[in-house]
């Protein structure tokens, strides 16, 4: 169920990737880079509204807030399907992203209610295995829906149907995970105090910033990927397959993490993965700058990059939440806000708008933001990598 909820945000990003040019043309847009806004405003909606869901979930419980978000997702998907102008499309996409934010926040909160530390990282990785299968299938699924219906609008009708099915599942099978004695009254001062605890916690803040940097690189790839395959490699027909290979690397990384993290610990696994990520992305950048980029090489490097990405980020998330279980909803909100808005929307948009008929902005984004993530991890750990989990940090 957690994987199905997490998949909502992934479907909202990936299922229309193959038809972005058609959507752009249908809304009478003549500049190719304008199509990136269809992805960016969705991610911005997710980022900006995540600050709302956490405090509400801490006050009213996880289930009612989650159901409200799912209902909004269904309605906003119908609005996107009926949009008649580019401005209406973007506004509806923003609302759709705002609705999808509920699942992003509440999954982290529900899992943290049940688990902590290495066990939480393992459970989140198991959910990620299914969640990351979505990008493997989503572009092909979207293309298939359009082939059958001859309309990109049918994609968003399918998203509304998916949201309805998940909502029915939640109604029937999800117990409330927040115990009544842990509910917190809604107040401006209380919310500000909780948010202050999250950003004031060094480990939470810097691991969240590390996730934001890596997520920004990923969204830079997602927003520009269709253009790369169409304009650089002249192989648009191969886009769903290569995108699936990259997403397969992510799923394999999450699956690997679920099997090793409890044995080796979140820090050893994630720090090793981050160093591997830097080595792979730096090598890719050097080869791309030297003019040795090929479709096959791009696919291979992206798959390896995504494998390391999925070994690192679930563990970063678990460590960011480790000391904040008493305010899990607010913590998940703040962390989701930073990763989605700073990483997904702002950094992803920056990389996407730098697209210049070469892979350098995408590959360079992975390498540069990988270095930024390493800096954040070093700040979180006071300069010491691989420190075993749950040992006290020297003051």
∠ CA 162-306-34, nearest 5°, is: 65
DSSP H or E run through 85: none
Torsion-angle region of 92 (φ positive above 0: left; ψ -120 to 50: alpha; else: beta): alpha
Q: Which residues contact 61 (CB under 8 A, 6 or more apart)?
A: 176, 178, 183
User: What confidence tens digit (pLDDT) does each residue in 64-113 have?
Assistant: 999 999 999 999 999 999 999 999 999 999 999 999 999 988 988 898 88
Position 392 confidence tier, pLDDT thresholds 50, 70, 90: very low
Position 121 confidence tier, pLDDT thresholds 50, 70, 90: confident
394: in domain: no
**Are the beta carbons of 261 and 388 closer than 8 angstroms?**
no
Closest-CA residue to 262 (of 101, 81, 390): 390
With a threshold of 0.85, does the pTM exceed it?
Answer: no
- For the record, the structure tokens of 178 come out as 């927040």
- For the record, the structure tokens of 173 come out as 């099978």
105: in domain: yes
- As a whole number of angstroms, the distance between CA 247 and CA 230 comes to 19
386: in domain: no
**Are the beta carbons of 143 and 21 closer than 8 angstroms?**
no
Position 348 confidence tier, pLDDT thresholds 50, 70, 90: confident
**DSSP structural state of residue 383:** T
Range of the domain at 18: 2-380
- As a whole number of angstroms, the distance between CA 162 and CA 50 comes to 21
**Long-range pairs for 88-92 at CB < 8 Å and ≥24 separation?**
89/23, 89/27, 89/38, 90/37, 90/38, 90/41
Closest-CA residue to 244 (of 341, 151, 138): 138
Query: Interhelix angle for 295-321 vs 328-337, to 10°?
Result: 150
240: in domain: yes
- As a whole number of angstroms, the distance between CA 91 and CA 170 comes to 27
User: What confidence tens digit (pLDDT) does each residue in 22-63 have?
Assistant: 999 999 988 877 888 998 899 889 888 888 998 899 899 999
- Whether 395 has a pLDDT exceeding 80, the answer reads no
Query: Interhelix angle for 202-227 vs 36-60, to 10°?
Result: 150
Mean pLDDT of the chain: 88
Of the ranges 106-120, 137-151, 172-186, 300-314, the best mean pLDDT one:
300-314
Q: How many angstroms separate the Cα of 21 from the Cα of each of 209, 262, 380? A: 32, 44, 42
Closest-CA residue to 286 (of 275, 296, 297): 297
> How many domains, in total, are found in the chain?
1
66: in domain: yes
Domain CATH number, residue 193: 1.20.1250.20
391: in domain: no
390: in domain: no
Closest-CA residue to 316 (of 154, 205, 173, 220): 205
User: What confidence tens digit (pLDDT) does each residue in 249-267 have?
Assistant: 888 888 898 889 888 999 9
- For residue 135, the model assigns a pLDDT of 62
289: in domain: yes
Query: Interhelix angle for 86-114 vs 328-337, to 10°?
Result: 140
**Are the beta carbons of 209 and 319 closer than 8 angstroms?**
no
């Amino acid at each position: 169920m957690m994987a199905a909820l997490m998949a909502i945000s992934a479907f909202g990003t990936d299922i229309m990737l193959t038809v972005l040019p058609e959507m752009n043309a249908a809304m009478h847009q003549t500049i190719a880079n304008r199509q990136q806004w269809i992805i960016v405003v969705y991610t911005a909606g997710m980022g900006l509204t995540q600050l709302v869901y956490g405090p509400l979930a801490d006050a009213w419980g996880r289930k009612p807030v989650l159901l409200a978000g799912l209902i909004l997702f269904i309605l906003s998907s119908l609005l996107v399907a009926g949009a008649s102008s580019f401005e209406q499309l973007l506004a509806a996409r923003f609302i759709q992203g705002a609705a999808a934010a509920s699942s992003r926040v509440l999954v982290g909160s529900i899992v943290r209610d049940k688990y902590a530390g290495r066990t939480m990282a393992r459970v989140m990785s198991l959910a990620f295995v299914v969640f990351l299968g979505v990008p493997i299938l989503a572009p092909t699924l979207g293309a298939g829906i359009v082939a059958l219906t001859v309309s990109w609008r049918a994609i968003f009708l399918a998203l509304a149907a998916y949201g309805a099915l998940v909502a029915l599942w939640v109604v029937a099978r999800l117990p409330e995970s927040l115990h009544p004695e842990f509910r917190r009254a809604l107040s401006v001062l209380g919310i500000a105090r909780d948010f202050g605890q999250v950003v004031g916690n060094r480990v939470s803040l810097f691991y969240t910033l590390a996730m934001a940097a890596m997520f920004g690189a990923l969204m830079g790839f997602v927003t520009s990927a269709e253009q790369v395959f169409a304009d650089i490699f002249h192989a648009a027909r191969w886009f769903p397959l290569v995108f699936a290979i990259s997403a397969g690397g992510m799923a394999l990384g999450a699956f690997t993490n679920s099997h090793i993290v409890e044995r080796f610990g979140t820090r050893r696994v994630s720090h090793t993965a981050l160093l591997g990520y830097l080595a792979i992305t730096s090598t890719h950048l050097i080869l791309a700058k030297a003019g040795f980029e090929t479709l096959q090489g791009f696919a291979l490097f992206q798959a390896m990059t995504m494998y390391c990405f999925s070994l690192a980020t679930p563990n970063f998330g678990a460590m960011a939440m480790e000391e904040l279980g008493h305010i899990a909803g607010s913590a998940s909100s703040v962390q989701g806000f930073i990763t989605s808005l700073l990483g997904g929307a702002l950094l992803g948009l920056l990389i996407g708008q730098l697209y210049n008929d070469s892979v350098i902005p995408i590959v360079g984004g992975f390498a540069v933001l990988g270095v930024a993530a390493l800096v954040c991890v070093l700040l979180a750990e006071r300069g010491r990598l691989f420190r075993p989990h749950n040992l006290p940090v020297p003051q």
